[in-house]
């Protein structure tokens, strides 16, 4: 081997390869964004009474269109926005967990964090009679609390992905039994309200919920994007991250807090929409494979999953199903497949 | 890029360990700038622990690790990372990442919160790939590489960090002997061309003796000897550090001390009386 260390290498192959990967990534992201746009338009147009995109556009521009104005502005628009935002939140929050713990099973809906928010909400509804914004705040706080507990329980000279996953699954199972208990104690009306916290649904998505959700995400999403550089250092292992000047424990904790906050905020609005956080990362990984971090693509995939799931649940099945049922049907087989193959490939995101 | 190392690394009366367990006792060590230093010793003697403390991956329980005369944990981690690079023992490559992208991660300490990728970064990656003879692998996924190629890619990532001091924790593990020699040749090139200060942990005493300017021998967490291999590597030292009787002869290629273990069998099989005598002494 001849060395050319002291001579600056001409920039060529490396830059070209990097640009090619960047182009591929941009193409996939653009495709996802366009698909999302189509789904958004369909969501706004299609329903019991369908309107043309033009009518919908006129409503959006503030015109009064008989019939359409109420349906689109009051019902469909907040539903679509809520689905879009929680989808992004679940997708991004989930993939942070999966990337950081190097385990596709380490998604907040598998390791009991969503269950924490649900259990708190169900208990509050059935036993304390709490409703409205107080309920949402409680769900967020308890989701973060449960995440902290799982983190603390799995701490042994640092946090190891597999240990955290197992402890999280156990905590989740415990919380599920708490939910079941609370449901047996609940009256019919309360049980109905509590049900939303079990499967996740956009049925109660109206304007009052959209504002706080959007505001929280306007803070959390940019924060996560800024932190993403640390995430890419952590991906290389703690020692390599430290060598690059990232403090692994501090970076991990910061990322977890932001990701949990995203998940909890979204859960507080729609309940835990089954498997969106779990599925978005791996799907995004297949699409943009090897071209960088998955945060943005997973956010887009999450939004697509929620909106398409809701469209299917609302219009394509014999009865109306909450979106969580549809995504659950999608996610469960993938979970099985993952459990069956994970040890063979030992893969991670 | 500076052409000679100006940064200094030293360990001062350091006690290092995990939780309640002390692994390295009262260690004082000055790493000669611009030289190759190798830490050797038996398994579990604390050599990796010492290196981890020098790389600030592990906090010392007592004493100090000094980078340019200042306690290393008082310097912002990012600043340390522009001076001191590390090849960890078991780094993880994200699934599907291309070689050039992985090596590019080494540019992290040179990038700010919002600073974009620059042509300098491309140049650093390219020259790191060239130096490790992995330029033709640039666009391949790291997952598909052989162990030897992968190790060279990780070294390239450490090179792309462009630090004056480079620490390597067993850079030759998982490699066959040809690749071991290749990696050590590469580190020597780096040291000679740029004056990079290199500190590494090696298992193989003979390779260490040949490729090292300054050898540091540990036993049970304590410094046994340090200095040029020609002075340090003696049968007595090998016995003390590895608990093994051996002959030390000049390596026919480089003249560096070559350790020939005696063992319980084969010694004296059809050779000189002196060796037969050595063997019987060992057996007795």
pLDDT of residue A7: 46
Quickly count: other Cβ atoms within 10 Å of residue B91's Cβ.
Answer: 23
Beta partners for residue B169, in sequence order: B201
Residue of B164, B76, B91 whose CA lies nearest to A250? B76
Gap between the Cα atoms of B37 and A238, Å rounded: 25
pLDDT of residue B179: 85
List helix spans (H) across chain B.
47-54, 77-83, 99-104, 119-131, 147-160, 177-194, 205-211, 229-232, 235-242, 273-283
pLDDT of residue A82: 96
Residues of A within 8 A of B112 (CB-CB) are none
CATH architecture of structural domain B9-244 = 3-Layer(aba) Sandwich (3.40)
Mean pLDDT of A107-121: 88
pLDDT of residue B280: 57
Gap between the Cα atoms of A296 and A215, Å rounded: 19
Instruction: Give me B226's structure tokens.
Output: 């340090």
Optimal mutation site among B78, B83, B95, B134, interface A, most CBs of chain A within 10 A = B95
User: Which residues touch B204 (CB under 8 Å, ≥6 apart)?
Assistant: B172, B180
> How far is A292 from chain B, CA to nearest CA, in Å?
8
Mean pLDDT of A120-126: 88
pLDDT of residue A317: 84
C-alpha distances (whole Å) from A109 to each of A339, B94, B214 are 15, 23, 54
Gap between the Cα atoms of B264 and B284, Å rounded: 10
Residues of A within 8 A of B104 (CB-CB) are 18
Gap between the Cα atoms of A108 and A94, Å rounded: 6
Instruction: Give me B64's structure tokens.
Output: 């100090």
Whether A4 shows a pLDDT value over 60: the answer reads: no
A162–chain B Cβ distance below 8 A for any pair: no
Residues of A within 8 A of B119 (CB-CB) are 11, 15
Quickly count: other Cβ atoms within 10 Å of residue B221's Cβ.
Answer: 21
Optimal mutation site among A13, A14, A247, interface B, most CBs of chain B within 10 A = A14
| Regions of chain B where pLDDT drops below 70 | 1-5, 113-115, 268-284
**Pairwise CB contact (< 8 Å): A292 & B123:** no
Mean pLDDT of A135-142: 88
pLDDT of residue A78: 95
Pairwise pLDDT comparison (A204 vs B42), residue with the higher score? B42
Residue A344: Cβ-neighbour burial (10 angstroms; 0-12, 13-18, 19+): exposed
Gap between the Cα atoms of A91 and A299, Å rounded: 4
Whether A68 shows a pLDDT value over 50: the answer reads: yes
Pairwise pLDDT comparison (A300 vs A159), residue with the higher score? A300
**Pairwise CB contact (< 8 Å): B193 & A6:** yes
Mean pLDDT of A57-76: 88
**Pairwise CB contact (< 8 Å): A242 & B56:** yes
Q: Are B158 and B166 in contact (CB under 8 A)?
A: yes
Instruction: Give me A33's structure tokens.
Output: 């964004």
- The verdict on ipTM greater than 0.85 is yes
Q: What SS3 state is found at B124?
A: helix
Confidence band (pLDDT; 50, 70, 90) for A3?
very low
pLDDT of residue A66: 85
pLDDT of residue B274: 59
**Pairwise CB contact (< 8 Å): A18 & B158:** no
Quickly count: other Cβ atoms within 10 Å of residue B181's Cβ.
Answer: 15
A223, closest residue in chain B (CA to CA): B113
**Pairwise CB contact (< 8 Å): B92 & A235:** yes
Q: Which of A5-19, A292-306, B175-189 tops mean pLDDT? A: A292-306
pLDDT of residue A271: 87
pLDDT of residue A217: 96
Mean pLDDT of A90-106: 91
pLDDT in tens, A151-177: 899 888 777 778 888 999 999 999 999
pLDDT of residue A337: 84
Whether A130 shows a pLDDT value over 90: the answer reads: no
Tell me the DSSP string of B55-118: TTSS--SEEEEEETTEEGGGS-HHHHHHHEEEE-SS--PPTT-BHHHHHHGGGGGGS-SSPPP-
A346–chain B Cβ distance below 8 A for any pair: no
In chain B, where the domains are located: 9-244, 245-284
Gap between the Cα atoms of B241 and B42, Å rounded: 7
* Average pLDDT value over all residues in chain A: 87
Gap between the Cα atoms of B240 and A270, Å rounded: 68
Instruction: Give me A125's structure tokens.
Output: 């509804």
pTM score? 0.87
pLDDT of residue B2: 43
């Amino acid at each position: 081997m001849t060395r050319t260390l002291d001579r600056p290498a001409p920039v060529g192959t490396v830059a070209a390869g990097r640009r090619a990967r960047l182009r591929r990534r941009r193409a996939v992201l653009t495709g996802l964004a366009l698909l999302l746009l189509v789904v958004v338009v369909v969501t706004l147009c299609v329903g019991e009474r369908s309107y043309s995109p033009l009518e919908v556009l006129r409503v959006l521009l503030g015109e009064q269109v008989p019939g359409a104005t109420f349906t689109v502005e009051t019902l469909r628009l907040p539903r679509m926005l809520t689905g879009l935002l929680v989808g992004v939140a679940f997708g991004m929050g989930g993939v942070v967990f999966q990337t950081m713990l190097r385990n596709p099973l380490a998604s907040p809906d598998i390791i009991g964090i969503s269950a924490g928010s649900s259990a708190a909400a169900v208990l509050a509804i059935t036993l304390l009679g709490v409703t409205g914004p107080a309920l949402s705040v409680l769900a967020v706080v308890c989701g973060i609390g449960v995440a902290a507990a799982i983190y603390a329980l799995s701490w042994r000279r640092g946090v190891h992905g597999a240990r955290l996953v197992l402890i999280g699954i156990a905590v989740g199972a415990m919380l599920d039994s708490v939910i079941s208990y609370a449901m047996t104690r609940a009256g019919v009306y309360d049980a109905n309200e509590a049900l939303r916290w079990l499967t996740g649904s956009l049925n109660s998505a109206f304007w009052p919920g959209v504002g706080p959700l959007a505001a929280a995400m306007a803070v959390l999403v940019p924060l996560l994007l800024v932190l993403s550089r640390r995430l890419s250092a952590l991906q290389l292992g703690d020692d390599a991250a430290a060598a690059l000047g990232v403090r692994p424990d501090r970076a991990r904790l910061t990322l977890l807090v932001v990701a949990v906050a995203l998940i909890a905020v979204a859960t507080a609005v729609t309940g835990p929409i089954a498997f969106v956080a779990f599925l978005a990362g791996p799907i995004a990984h297949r699409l943009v494979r090897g071209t960088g971090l998955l945060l943005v693509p997973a956010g887009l995939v999450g939004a697509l999953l929620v909106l398409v799931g809701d469209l299917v649940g609302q219009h394509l099945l014999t009865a109306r199903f909450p979106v969580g049922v549809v995504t659950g049907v999608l996610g469960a087989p993938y979970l099985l497949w993952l459990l069956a193959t994970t040890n063979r490939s030992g893969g991670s995101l | 890029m500076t052409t000679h190392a100006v940064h200094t690394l030293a360990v001062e009366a350091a006690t290092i360990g995990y939780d309640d367990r002390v692994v390295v006792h009262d260690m004082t060590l000055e790493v000669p700038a611009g030289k190759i230093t190798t830490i050797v010793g038996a398994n579990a003697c604390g050599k990796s622990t010492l290196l981890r403390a020098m790389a600030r991956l592990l906090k010392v329980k007592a004493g100090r690790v000094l980078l340019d005369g200042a306690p290393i944990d008082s310097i912002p981690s990012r600043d340390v990372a522009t001076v001191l690079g590390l090849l960890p023992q078991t780094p993880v490559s994200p699934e599907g990442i291309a070689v050039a992208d992985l090596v590019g991660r080494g540019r992290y300490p040179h990038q700010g919160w919002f600073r974009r990728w620059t042509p300098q970064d491309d140049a650093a990656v390219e020259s790191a790939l060239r130096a490790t003879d992995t330029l033709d692998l640039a666009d391949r996924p790291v997952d598909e590489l052989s162990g030897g190629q992968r190790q060279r890619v990780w070294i390239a990532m450490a090179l792309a960090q462009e630090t004056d001091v480079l620490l390597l924790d067993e850079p030759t593990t998982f490699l066959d002997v040809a690749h071991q020699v290749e990696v050590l040749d590469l580190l020597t090139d780096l040291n000679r061309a740029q004056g990079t200060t290199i500190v590494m942990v090696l298992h193989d005493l003979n390779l260490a003796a040949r490729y090292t300017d300054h050898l540091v021998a540990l036993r049970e967490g304590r410094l046994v000897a340090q200095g040029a291999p020609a002075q340090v590597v003696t049968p007595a030292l090998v016995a003390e550090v590895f608990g093994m009787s051996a002959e030390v002869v000049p390596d026919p290629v480089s003249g560096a001390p070559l350790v020939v273990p005696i063992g319980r069998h084969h010694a004296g099989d059809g050779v000189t009386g002196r060796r037969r005598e050595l063997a019987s002494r060992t057996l007795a």
